[in-house]
């Protein structure tokens, strides 16, 4: 993982982002078909907006933990830097996607900052624990 580390981290962050989006879609599908079927689409859209940060935080923690654990077992060079740079790369891409997609207006940004920090903090924590708890 020495060559093109930035490109590899960006690619891995995009892969994790896609995985978390798929998990979020599956969660909303389970909610709409099993938990609360027969509602208007707006109910499911509101649920998706509400649950997405939680899905991202919980499953992001798990994914980052597993990736860091895998790296530790493979004994990658400069692993302590990778453990910090990988979640940082993910967060920067997440901010870029949110801003470019227009998903969050600047006037509403202050209302999502806490959830954004908690969900992405879980990713940093998962990466750190994956590193520290692995042999």
pLDDT per residue as tens digits for the range 25-82: 999 999 999 998 888 888 888 898 889 889 999 999 999 999 999 999 988 878 888 8
Answer whether residue 2 shows pLDDT above 70: no
Sign of CA dihedral 66, 8, 19, 57: positive
Question: What is the count of structural domains for the chain?
Answer: 1
- Position 92 pLDDT exceeds 60: yes
Most confident residue range from 11-15, 97-101, 104-108: 11-15
Decide: pTM greater than 0.85.
yes
Domain region containing 78: 5-132
Tell me what the mean pLDDT of segment 75-93 comes to: 89
Distance CA 58, CA 124 (A): 12
Structure tokens at 93: 């891409």
pLDDT value of position 121: 93
Is the pLDDT at 120 greater than 70? The verdict is yes
Distance CA 50, CA 45 (A): 9
**Structure-block tokens of residue 40:** 């208007």
Q: Over pLDDT 70: what percentage of the chain?
A: 93
Q: What is the pLDDT of residue 109?
A: 67
């Amino acid at each position: 993982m020495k060559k093109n580390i930035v490109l590899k981290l960006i690619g891995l962050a995009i892969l994790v982002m896609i995985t978390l989006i798929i998990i979020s879609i599956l969660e909303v599908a389970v909610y709409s078909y099993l938990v609360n079927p027969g509602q208007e689409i707006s109910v499911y859209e509101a649920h998706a907006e509400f649950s997405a940060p939680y899905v991202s935080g919980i499953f992001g923690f798990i994914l980052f933990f597993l990736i860091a654990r895998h790296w530790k077992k493979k004994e990658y060079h400069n692993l302590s830097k990778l453990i910090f740079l990988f979640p940082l790369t993910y967060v920067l891409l997440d901010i870029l996607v949110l801003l470019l997609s227009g998903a969050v207006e600047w006037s509403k940004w202050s209302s999502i900052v806490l959830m954004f920090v908690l969900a992405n903090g879980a990713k940093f924590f998962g990466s750190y624990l994956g590193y520290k708890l692995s042999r």
